[in-house]
Amino acid sequence: MAMNLRLRDDQTEALKQRAEQEGTSMHALLLKAVDDYLARTAQEAIVRKTAREQAAKWHELMERLK
């Protein structure tokens, strides 16, 4: 899927510099950033879901132990 991404001038310059430092393209860096973000937020969602489930499961016991 093609899309346009509008970056501020400072973002473009920082991305360009980082790409040069890493010997890669700005496009490749942006794809990696998107992949990293999606993986991180997916993991965070799993942790939140598990925490809610465990809190519900042990709520009664925790109340009794107060």
Domain boundaries, the chain: 9-65
The answer to whether the beta carbons of residues 15 and 26 sit under 8 Å apart is yes
pTM above 0.85, yes or no: no
Interval 23-44: pLDDT, tens? 999 999 999 999 999 999 988 8
Q: How many Cα atoms within 13 Å fall on the side-chain side of residue 11?
A: 6
Token match 């991180």: residue?
40
Residues in the chain: 66
Report which of residues 60 and 14 the model is more confident about. 14
Confidence class for position 19, pLDDT limits 50, 70, 90: very high
